[in-house]
């Protein structure tokens, strides 16, 4: 019986006592430790009724047990659904109702709040925490071997929610083949081996930290210094004994802001990779001047895994995202007609290949809008491709803000702000920010006769939205700037309020 993802990422490590996860508390888990822990967790999952294809919602901290839980989910043939720990109860209710999981796993401190939410869909709720939880207690008593459940390449391994321009989050269905094929290509492309030691400072509820970082390390047998959260001091301290860092651009600007980061500090490092948001050319250049390393920038999406990458050996050009990942097709098309454009023209990035997801969970119309019948996925990113195939991203056709590598969809925030009785209408947009790349600003038009109170509006928004989505600045206007079609001109707002 085969389970292609488990067989590639985990099975080969059974019995291996080499170090795998190095935790903040200094405890080092071998590959075999993690495999055995996953087996124990897998017994608990099946014991509470998780069957192949069932969704497991996970909103938990970044612990070695969370990694083992991901392995257990794959091993039992379940569909792993990780959620940002910053999401509010209101946000979680939507995801849980939409995905209809069999099991919800959360931090012990959130159990009381989430139990009724899980009950609404008939899901079991268990807890996972740094000091233990009901899932971990149950696992402690289980056998350390588990018969892997067979899964084919097209079966789902994960469901990752990504917000949309319509304001409703969509679950991107990722198959075993989607995840495995991309990890295999990236290991080759970036030359990851069992001699590598990755500094893992990203969250493990998104594509970057979970799939790009963890799947490639598992496949290559690399060691992972699993940081429970981003901490610049720890990152700098770990560098002399590590070889690899994967980060969002904010990691690199913060490193540059610290005098301890220099050539000597980075001497043992083999590769710095950046993605999830645009890396400024000036950051790329300053980083090279300081450390002697050229950051390798790559580009991807939740729905597609990694699409392009700068080369390992060739030129890593600042301000470009490199070439199509092998096995993945990339073309630039006319956003109106979908016709392929010649080299040098600005257009929409479309991609096709084993990396491209299976569609949006329970949303066939949304899937049809973004995934063409011929298999090309319309990314919403605008780029130009040079005649040698090198891609440079020049903008976005979708209304999206990226702050510190987190995607923020203005429509979702505008809907929440507009529901406030003092607000007639709002327009949310991003302005350049030195640390997070972009920061969120909300332009508000008050209801006639009402006064907008920034503080009260922020409290209202915070009840619905994760903290990282909240506007950092409110500006009250008499009217929003609109074009002749009545569409709000966010470029005008950006121009006026980018200071």
Chain residues in the site for ligand MLC (CB under 6 A): 202-203, 206-209, 229-230, 248, 250, 275-276, 300-302, 403-406, 436, 467-468
C-alpha 91/C-alpha 96 separation (Å) is 9
Q: Which stretch binds ligand AMP (CB under 6 A): 48-56, 252-260, 373-381, 468-476?
A: 373-381
Which partner in ligand AMP, ligand MLC, none is near 404 (CB below 5 to 8 A by kind)? ligand MLC
C-alpha 179/C-alpha 187 separation (Å) is 12
Question: Which residues does 42 contact at the CB level (< 8 Å), separation at least 6?
Answer: 72, 75, 76, 146
Taking the alpha carbons at both ends of the chain, their separation in whole angstroms is: 60
**Residue number with CB closer to ligand AMP (21 or 349):** 349
438, two tokens: 């972009």
**Residue number with CB closer to ligand MLC (202 or 488):** 202
Tell me how far the alpha carbon of residue 325 is from its chain's centroid.
18
374, two tokens: 């011929």
368, two tokens: 């049809």
Single residue of 148, 184, 333, 379 touching ligand AMP by CB under 6 A:
379
Residue 321, interface with ligand AMP (CB under 6 A)? yes
- Residue 145: CB minimum distance to ligand MLC, A: 33
**Residue number with CB closer to ligand MLC (138 or 466):** 466
Single residue of 110, 185, 297, 414 touching ligand AMP by CB under 6 A:
297
Residues 437-466 that bind ligand AMP (CB under 6 A): none
424, two tokens: 């007639």
**Residue number with CB closer to ligand MLC (300 or 322):** 300
Question: Which residues does 322 contact at the CB level (< 8 Å), separation at least 6?
Answer: 296, 297, 298, 299, 308, 309, 310, 311, 316, 390, 391
For tokens 């969370």, name the residue.
66
Residues 91-150 that bind ligand AMP (CB under 6 A): none
**Residue number with CB closer to ligand MLC (75 or 302):** 302
Residue 393, interface with ligand AMP (CB under 6 A)? yes
Half-sphere exposure of 367 (CA within 13 A, CB side): 15
C-alpha 432/C-alpha 283 separation (Å) is 14
Half-sphere exposure of 449 (CA within 13 A, CB side): 1
By three-state DSSP, how is residue 414 classified? helix
Which partner in ligand MLC, ligand AMP, none is near 297 (CB below 5 to 8 A by kind)? ligand AMP
Residue 392, interface with ligand AMP (CB under 6 A)? no
Residue 412, interface with ligand AMP (CB under 6 A)? no
**Residue number with CB closer to ligand AMP (3 or 283):** 283
- Residue 279: CB minimum distance to ligand MLC, A: 12
Enumerate binding residues for ligand AMP (CB under 6 A). 162, 207, 275-278, 297, 299-302, 321, 379-381, 393, 396, 402, 407
């Amino acid at each position: 019986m085969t389970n292609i993802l488990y067989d590639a990422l985990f099975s080969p490590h059974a019995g291996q006592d080499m170090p795998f996860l190095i935790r903040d508390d200094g405890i080092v888990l071998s590959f075999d430790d993690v495999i055995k822990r996953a087996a124990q967790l897998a017994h608990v999952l099946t014991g509470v009724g998780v069957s192949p294809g069932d969704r497991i919602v996970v909103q938990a901290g970044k612990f070695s047990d969370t990694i083992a839980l991901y392995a257990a989910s794959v091993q039992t043939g379940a569909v792993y659904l990780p959620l940002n720990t910053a999401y509010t109860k209101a946000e979680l209710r939507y995801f849980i109702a939409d995905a209809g999981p069999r099991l919800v796993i959360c931090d012990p401190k959130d159990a009381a709040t989430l139990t009724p939410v899980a009950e609404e869909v008939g899901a079991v709720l268990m807890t996972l925490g740094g000091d233990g939880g009901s899932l971990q207690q149950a696992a402690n008593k289980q056998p350390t071997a588990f018969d892997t459940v067979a899964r084919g390449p097209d079966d789902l391994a994960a469901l990752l929610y990504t917000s949309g321009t319509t304001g409703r989050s969509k679950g991107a269905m990722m198959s075993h083949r989607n995840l495995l094929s991309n990890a295999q290509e990236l290991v080759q492309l970036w030359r990851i081996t069992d001699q590598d030691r990755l500094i893992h400072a990203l969250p493990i509820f998104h594509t970057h930290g979970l799939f790009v970082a963890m799947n490639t390390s598992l496949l290559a047998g690399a060691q992972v210094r699993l940081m429970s959260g981003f901490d610049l001091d720890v990152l700098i301290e770990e560098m002399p004994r590590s070889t690899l860092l994967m980060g969002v651009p904010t990691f690199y600007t913060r490193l540059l802001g610290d005098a301890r980061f220099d050539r000597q500090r980075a001497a043992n490092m083999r590769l710095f990779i950046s993605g999830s948001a645009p890396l400024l050319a000036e950051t790329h250049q300053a980083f090279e001047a300081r450390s002697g390393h050229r950051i390798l920038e790559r580009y991807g999406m939740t729905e597609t895994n990694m699409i392009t990458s700068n080369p390992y050996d060739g030129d890593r050009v600042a301000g470009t995202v490199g070439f199509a990942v092998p096995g993945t097709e990339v073309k630039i098309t006319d956003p109106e007609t979908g016709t392929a454009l010649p080299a040098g023209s600005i257009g929409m990035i479309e991609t096709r290949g084993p990396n491209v997801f299976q569609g949006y969970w329970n949303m066939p119309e949304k899937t049809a809008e973004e995934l063409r019948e011929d298999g090309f996925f319309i990314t919403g990113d605008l780029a130009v491709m040079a005649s040698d195939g090198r891609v440079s991203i020049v903008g976005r056709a979708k209304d999206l803000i990226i702050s510190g590598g987190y995607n923020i969809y203005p429509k979702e925030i505008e809907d929440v702000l507009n529901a406030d009785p003092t607000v007639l209408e709002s327009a949310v947009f991003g302005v350049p920010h030195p640390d997070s790349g972009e920061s969120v600003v909300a332009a508000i038009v008050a209801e006639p006769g009402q006064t907008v109170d920034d503080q009260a509006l922020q409290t209202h928004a915070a009840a619905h939205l994760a903290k990282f989505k909240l506007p950092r600045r409110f500006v009250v206007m008499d009217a929003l700037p609109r074009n002749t079609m009545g569409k709000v001109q966010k470029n005008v707002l950006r121009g006026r309020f980018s200071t």
